[in-house]
Amino acid sequence: MTYQEKKSIVSIISAILIFVSFSAYKYVRYPAEGMEQTEMFHYWGSFVLVLTLVSIFAHIVISIIFNIVFRITTGEKEPNFADELDKQIELKSHRNGFFIFILGFLLAMGSLVIEQPVQVMFVILIVSGFISDVAGSVTKLYHYRRGV
Shortest distance, CB of residue 98 to other proteins, whole angstroms? 20
Distance CA 144, CA 80 (A): 17
What region does 75 belong to: left with phi over 0, alpha with psi -120 to 50, or beta? left
Shortest distance, CB of residue 143 to other proteins, whole angstroms? 9
Q: Evaluate whether 131 touches 100 at the Cβ level (below 8 Å).
A: yes
Nearer to other proteins, 34 or 147 (CB): 147
Shortest distance, CB of residue 89 to other proteins, whole angstroms? 10
Shortest distance, CB of residue 146 to other proteins, whole angstroms? 6
Distance CA 104, CA 77 (A): 38
Burial per residue of 9-18, b for 16 or more beta-carbon CB atoms within 10 angstroms, e otherwise:
bbbbebbeeb
Nearer to other proteins, 27 or 81 (CB): 81
Nearer to other proteins, 43 or 142 (CB): 142
Nearer to other proteins, 3 or 44 (CB): 3
Where does this chain bind other proteins (CB under 8 A)?
Answer: 2-4, 79, 81, 83-86, 144, 146-148
